[in-house]
Amino acid sequence: MSAHSHRPRLRDLILPYWTSRESWRGWILLAIKLTLMFTSVYLAIWSNKLQGLVVDALVKREWDGIWHSLGLSWVAGMFTMLVSMVLLFVVGELIQYEWRTAMTRRYLAAWTERRAYYAIERDGRLSNTDQRISQDVPRFIELTLFLFLNPIHVLVSAISFTVVLWNLSGTLQFTLWGIDFSIPGYMVYLVYAYSAGALLVSHLTGRPLIHLFNLRQTVEANFRYRGMQLRENAEQIAFYDGGAQEHKRLDDSFEEVRANWRDIIVRNAKLILARETYTHTFSTQLLPTAAALPRYLSGAITLGDVTRVGGAFTAVSSSLVFFSHAYVTFTEWWALGNRLRDLLGALEEANERPAGIQVSRTPEPAIEAHDVALQKPDGAPLAAIPPLHMRKGERWLVRGASGAGKSTLLRAVAGIWPYGEGEIRQPGDGRMMFLPQRSYIPQGTLKAALCYPGQPEDFDDGRVREVLHEVRLPALADRLYESDRWQHKLSGGEQQRLAICRALLHRPDYLFLDEATSALDPDTERALYQALVHALPDSTLISVAHRESLTAYHDHVLDLTPKRSEDAGQGGSGSWPFPVHA
């Protein structure tokens, strides 16, 4: 299912922080930034006036006036630098700091709560979720502030210098075809026509960049992901001697990056060429000077006024040219926004999706299943489960042919498989633990990996070392505080024994083992089951396994191999009754 089917609006990305209680620091910083922006505009107007005074003093050779104006210009420049270069930068970074903190925490909570991380991967809703949170969020915030705050600064600056330019322009009077024309504030019309042309050129040549930047985020993320797959599965690939195949996969993925990069380069080159050709043809230095010459030559304005006219024209055009130069930035912002909208939509859909299999809590110390029919994500039937009542202290062995639904049944009991129908009741006060065939082992100290999902300080070092000896990992007993990537350091059998350690430490009331000892030799497997039975005599043990030898450690067997219709006497192939016996 595509995330586009549940894509929120852009405002759903922006407003949650700014309407939350924790946004008060952001609002204060935003007010400070706006104040600094208005101050910088005032300083720029002051500096423009001082430049005109300096030129007029030079023309008149008024040395006292020159030094006075130059001194004031230096002061204005220093204040402008302090406000524009330092304070605005610091305040802007702090706004991003506050906003990113809140937005990232919001997404992390939505991703990790209610197992949305699993639902997204299980259903293939979205790719590169982690990179969207770690990379797209900060870039989106940076560009949002740039595109929303800079226009305010641009408009304030443009309006302020428009007033200055209007006052300096005066009225242009000329005769054409025997008709007398009088245009007050003509320089203002000229600069706005010039800026509108620049924006039109940028739009016509830069519009395809929206799609190209959106594609860039996807192909770059795919390239990083395939590289990560090679790193995380290095041993398995080495056994297959699959280096050549992985090289081809990575090279094919990188070719998509290169193709997209080439397209962006070509499109940007077209945009820059069109924009700079326009700017060069209608130079912001030549155009205002030429337009001011008639009034200067007539004596209506001084050379200092011509300088001020050029400065005001440049200030207005430079402010308005933001919109044409920001077009590329806008295309990137829109592409990032779409990726984050897809992420938010996928998270909301994963958290709000109604489950076909209803999982509830029961006060009884038992796991119950009623009328449960498991399905695949596409709705195809997988297995029909007979009524189950697994009491505390019982030990169940679940077996059947591959693909019969054994692991899926455990997922349904855990509440992470919604596809199907029926009802499953979990014990209200019972602690459950699930050990899959390959358990997750986080990077860090060995003790933290052993105690997961609990905290290392919750377990005594002596007890941890004792358990390591029980599962035949004595060599690790003196390495509890050694940090490493244990998922890659330990063999498959060692990882399974480490998972059994967790069960012995946490002592769950209901323990599920899904082929959790398949990588072990029979003797070690027998020793581990004996340790579990001895250490957890009152716990319910549910094992998914193929080995007949494990039957000795279970008093109930659930066989999910469907009986043939001729054997069952009714129903077709794939129907139950299944054998359920003690």
Q: What are the pLDDT digits (tens) for 149-177?
A: 888 877 777 777 777 777 767 666 666 77
SS3 assignment, position 382: strand
Same domain, 452 and 531: yes
- Measured distance CA(132)–CA(125) in Å, rounded: 14
CA angle 378, 382, 114 (to 5 degrees): 65
Hey, what are 179's tokens? 């008709």
Same domain, 264 and 370: no
Residue 95's pLDDT band (cuts 50, 70, 90): very high
Cα-flanking dihedrals φ and ψ of residue 578, to 5°? -95, 155
- Measured distance CA(374)–CA(354) in Å, rounded: 15
**Residue 150 sits in which domain range?**
3-352
- Measured distance CA(529)–CA(504) in Å, rounded: 11
Give 12-50 pLDDT, tens digit per residue.
899 999 999 888 999 999 898 888 877 776 666 666 665
Residue located via tokens 């337009």? 291
Q: Is the pLDDT of residue 318 over 80?
A: no
Same domain, 204 and 142: yes
Pairing of strands 395-399, 540-544: parallel
Same domain, 304 and 264: yes
**Report for 47-61, 122-136, 244-258, 518-532: range of highest mean pLDDT:** 518-532
SS3 assignment, position 579: coil
Hey, what are 385's tokens? 């489960």
Same domain, 401 and 325: no
Give 277-297 pLDDT, tens digit per residue.
877 666 656 667 666 766 666
Q: Is the pLDDT of residue 426 over 70?
A: yes
542 touches 384 (CB < 8 A): no
**End of a domain among 300, 324, 352?**
352
344 touches 12 (CB < 8 A): yes
Q: Is the pLDDT of residue 575 over 60?
A: no
Same domain, 430 and 505: yes
- Measured distance CA(404)–CA(187) in Å, rounded: 80
CB atoms within 10 A of CB 96: 16
Q: What would the mean pLDDT of 418-422 be, rounded to a whole number?
A: 87
Residue 577's pLDDT band (cuts 50, 70, 90): very low
- Measured distance CA(23)–CA(29) in Å, rounded: 10
Which residues, 6 or more positions from 102, have their beta carbon under 8 angstroms from its beta carbon? 17, 20, 22, 23
Q: Is the pLDDT of residue 508 over 50?
A: yes
Cis peptide before 377 (omega within 30 of 0): no
CATH number of the domain encompassing residue 148: 1.20.1560.10
**End of a domain among 309, 335, 352?**
352
Q: What would the mean pLDDT of 133-140 be, rounded to a whole number?
A: 90
Whole-number pLDDT of residue 268: 85
Burial class (CB in 10 A: 0-12, 13-18, 19+), 514: buried
Burial class (CB in 10 A: 0-12, 13-18, 19+), 349: buried
Residue 236's pLDDT band (cuts 50, 70, 90): low
Q: Is the pLDDT of residue 84 over 70?
A: no
Same domain, 342 and 472: no
CATH number of the domain encompassing residue 449: 3.40.50.300
Same domain, 9 and 97: yes
Q: Is the pLDDT of residue 194 over 80?
A: no
Burial class (CB in 10 A: 0-12, 13-18, 19+), 556: middle
Hey, what are 220's tokens? 């770059």
Tally the domains of the chain.
2
Q: What would the mean pLDDT of 360-377 be, rounded to a whole number?
A: 86
Same domain, 283 and 425: no
Hey, what are 11's tokens? 């405002």
Give 261-276 pLDDT, tens digit per residue.
999 888 888 888 887 7
Least confident of 41-50, 359-368, 516-525: 41-50
Whole-number pLDDT of residue 564: 54
SS3 assignment, position 557: strand
Give 428-447 pLDDT, tens digit per residue.
788 889 888 888 888 889 99
**End of a domain among 312, 331, 352?**
352
Least confident of 133-142, 188-197, 473-482: 188-197
Which residues, 6 or more positions from 170, have their beta carbon under 8 angstroms from its beta carbon? 184, 185, 295, 300, 301
Same domain, 417 and 383: yes
Same domain, 474 and 337: no
The residues pairing with 372 across neighbouring beta strands, listed in sequence order, are 385
Same domain, 499 and 520: yes
Q: What would the mean pLDDT of 334-342 be, rounded to a whole number?
A: 88
Burial class (CB in 10 A: 0-12, 13-18, 19+), 233: middle
Q: Is the pLDDT of residue 565 over 70?
A: no
Q: What would the mean pLDDT of 497-502 be, rounded to a whole number?
A: 93
